[in-house]
Structure 1
């Protein structure tokens, strides 16, 4: 009998087709994430999980699903997995690094420009029928070209943002990471210095207990009142309630967020901020990129079915 594989999201049927030769697919063919209880119920008897970043796999789930032996994620991030517990149970683990770097970096700069130039506010104004004519300072935004961009987290995506910002927008790039990155040493700053010196700050760090609320009230107070904050990382890296208060009080000029604490629920105070551009976790959402993410997970599952190592294992 074929091992059972839970596909925990609506994905591209043509990309899933090769799996049918090796696995009995159990499809959750919806965009809404399974609740923890529903995930546990659906996982009963399953050898594998093809998932996203929404399915929490911890010691309790593993104890309740003793047949689980493999998890292939379509995402680069894997903070939804208790990796230590998974390894203790001997699970095969994979993710999708590299395939979404360019699309995510591109969207980070899109969000930066939209936030600085008040695109969201001005579009809502126009759609509401409030535009009565051109004004000399109407929706005057913040300049980006030639300004200083501070990037927190200089991994693949952060470096792609940095290169594009330098080459396309002539920005000076500063960065903060746990240690200086080869080739970028001169731009390294401590986090307080980066926040104080940057005209625009973009977050590209992975989520972990160490980066939970990395940006909170104290850090927002260190930024320029004319600065913007862009969260391209993960919900939880920013204290969203503290950010909303900083926006309301004018501590910083604006924010652009693609990720949120507790998403898809969004802090109501943020929703009320006109100076916040909010998008529903779409940074990697180009069709070629999303297909490549799914293909990466499929390739790992096919390799495992042949008894081979997967091409993109979650690092030890």
Structure 2
């Protein structure tokens, strides 16, 4: 079977794929163009796409009978793929759940600490050469231990964040989730408004139309003035314009972001604010994790090639 991998991958993943498939590696870091998406569906049997590869309904409409029969997505999130349109065209879609959980949870904790303790601002001060030395009132931030964290979305990643907050920092955990969740550590399932009123609010929901602008101006208005928002889910879960307004007016104390509405474009208004920590989508950026994600995607590809049930099939 002819396989396209749409972007550069860890060497171990490429080797595993090449050992089993007639591999074409698009060895670039950039996202494909619209015509490349269409060509991939026409020219390959299976495809390993990544975040940002927009296999939307219009792409499938232009290639209604594709040669490709599987998109083995590299990543747990798949809102860049129209799964319903893919299914209509006879294309199955898989993802890589589990492999990303701990790394993404670690980034959430990093952003909580960075935003609370003004670590990005402090590093910029030292690098600028303008640090005048230690002082009792220098760059006072917010204590994390013992505070309340509110988590939007309580799947694998949300629960991993909650465990770190509870067991690592003695934090009270409240969460909002569409379905009932039972856990074996102290955490209370509450309405969204109560989550937004926590000291730290972490967005950990899946991307897609159902969660777009879940955190909007109204939700942000429910936060404490001392509250800090962290987003490690998808950029459009947070209304970026509303967040900028809340940060500029000091309606909330700060934010920590790893994702953005129009990646890789980050609004200048965000980049010039000192009360927001900005990361370049580092959620799963560990070699071991990226290798595990890639190997899971390859396992889905091999299962398809061998006519077996797909381990991580996304249901339509």
Same fold per superposition (TM over 0.5): yes
Moved over 4 A (4+): none
Alpha-carbon contact 2:146-2:171 (below 8 Å) kept? yes
Instruction: Point out where structure 1 has 5 or more consecutive residues left out of the alignment.
Output: none
Deviation by residue 1:167-196 (Cα, 9 ceiling, x = unmatched): 110000010111331137961221122212
2:56 and 2:25 map into 1 onto residues whose CA distance is: 21
Count the aligned residue pairs. 313
* Bigger shift: residues 11-20 or 296-305: 11-20
Instruction: Point out where structure 2 has 5 or more consecutive residues left out of the alignment.
Output: none
Alpha-carbon contact 1:259-1:280 (below 8 Å) kept? yes
Alpha-carbon contact 2:10-2:287 (below 8 Å) kept? no
* Bigger shift: residues 70-79 or 39-48: 39-48
Aligned to 1:35: 33
Q: CA deviation at 1:307?
A: 1.7
1:185 and 1:129 map into 2 onto residues whose CA distance is: 45
The secondary structure found in structure 2 opposite 1:236 is helix
Aligned to 2:58: 60
Aligned to 2:189: 188
CA RMSD of aligned residues (A): 1.6
Deviation by residue 1:276-306 (Cα, 9 ceiling, x = unmatched): 1000111111111111001111111112122
* Bigger shift: residues 126-135 or 18-27: 18-27
Aligned to 2:295: 295
Aligned to 2:121: 121
The secondary structure found in structure 2 opposite 1:104 is helix
The secondary structure found in structure 1 opposite 2:75 is coil
Deviation by residue 1:245-273 (Cα, 9 ceiling, x = unmatched): 11110000010000000101112211111
Alpha-carbon contact 1:16-1:298 (below 8 Å) kept? no
Matches within 5 A, 1:121-160: 121-160=121-160
Aligned to 2:87: 87
Q: CA deviation at 1:218?
A: 1.5
Q: CA deviation at 1:48?
A: 1.5
Alpha-carbon contact 2:40-2:47 (below 8 Å) kept? no
Aligned to 1:227: 227
Aligned to 1:168: 168
Aligned to 2:7: 9
